[in-house]
């Protein structure tokens, strides 16, 4: 009697395991198909992108997130001269560069944040762009500010947020499928398989983030040069970040590549824009 029940239990376990595998395959297939179907051509680069949001949705999402993000960095700076400087330089880059071809023109907004301790600049989807007083205080030229803002405008124009959301949806779907296929509630050791799948998902996300930063550096060089700024000023920004501790820790596990490696890529981008050397009449 015992042996017969045991065999029946094994068969039930096999059936349940097969059912989980089938469901996992369906979940994975749906995730991949959904990701591949989310395709749009970027009007600035002309390249096809996998994005999960429309431009209008990005703009709305950025505006919705703006108040909370501003609060985290002490709100907008009360020094109107800083605010006006950031707005003037950022707007000039958009108006005089290929960024004006993007669907976000008219929605770009540039802000100086009051945080005097955190060295940071970031862009929200749709065109809300920020730089902290701490980073502004490290700068000595308008060109350096143009380097930072050109980079952040690049994130918006290249639609990195929309790409990341689509990628996260894909990796979450595949991770869920992997967990479903490998996790057995009666086998505690299978939990480690689920943890490995989750870790792989996180590493993929980090890799995309590093690539985004380098891509934004490259297009930022182009944008600031088109607006009349010396792109070598972006190298000065990288040196500022390095001196401020930006290079500490293992590079692979950072969202941003370390400043020294970014300098190499920026120099390559400058040579592509100015193969015969940077003109002497650009604003530093």
Mean pLDDT over all residues of the chain? 79
20 within a domain of the structure (yes/no): no
Residue 110: left (phi > 0), alpha (psi -120 to 50), or beta? beta
Residue 261 placed within a domain: yes
Q: Is residue 70 a part of any domain in this protein?
A: yes
Total domains in the chain come to 1
Residues 147/108, Cβ–Cβ less than 8 Å:
no
pLDDT tens by residue, 132-162:
999 999 999 999 999 999 999 999 999 988 8
Maximum CA extent, the chain: 93
* Four-CA torsion 96, 141, 248, 257, nearest 10 degrees: 10
- Neighbouring CB atoms inside 10 A of 271's CB total 13
Domain that holds residue 148: 39-183+193-273
Q: Does residue 12 form part of some domain?
A: no
Q: How confident is the model at residue 165 (pLDDT cuts 50, 70, 90)?
A: confident
26 within a domain of the structure (yes/no): no
Tokens of 246: 């930006």
What percent of the chain stands above pLDDT 70?
67
282 found inside a domain: no
């Amino acid at each position: 009697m015992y042996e017969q029940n045991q065999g029946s239990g094994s068969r039930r376990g096999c059936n349940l395991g097969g059912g989980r595998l089938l469901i996992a395959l369906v979940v994975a297939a749906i995730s991949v198909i959904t990701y591949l179907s989310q395709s749009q051509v970027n009007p600035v680069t002309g390249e096809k992108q996998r994005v999960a949001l429309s431009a209008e949705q990005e703009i709305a999402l950025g505006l919705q997130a703006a108040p909370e993000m501003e609060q985290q960095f002490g709100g907008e700076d009360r020094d109107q001269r800083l605010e006006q400087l950031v707005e003037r330089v950022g707007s000039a880059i958009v108006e005089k560069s290929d960024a004006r071809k993007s669907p976000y023109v008219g929605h770009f907004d540039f802000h100086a944040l009051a945080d005097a301790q955190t060295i940071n600049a970031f862009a929200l989807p749709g065109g809300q762009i920020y730089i902290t007083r701490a980073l502004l205080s490290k700068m000595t030229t308008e060109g350096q500010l143009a380097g930072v803002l050109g980079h952040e405008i690049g994130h918006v124009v290249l639609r990195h947020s929309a790409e990341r959301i689509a990628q996260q949806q894909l990796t979450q779907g595949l991770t869920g499928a992997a967990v479903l296929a490998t996790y057995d509630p009666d086998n505690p050791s299978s939990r480690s398989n689920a943890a490995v799948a989750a870790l792989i998902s996180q590493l993929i996300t980090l890799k995309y983030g590093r690539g985004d930063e380098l891509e934004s550096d490259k297009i930022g060089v182009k944008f600031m040069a088109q607006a009349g700024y010396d792109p070598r000023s972006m190298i000065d920004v990288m040196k500022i970040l390095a001196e401020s501790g930006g290079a500490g820790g293992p590079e692979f596990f950072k969202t941003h590549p370390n400043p020294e490696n970014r300098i190499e890529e920026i120099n390559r981008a400058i040579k592509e824009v100015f193969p015969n050397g940077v003109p002497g009449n650009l604003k530093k």
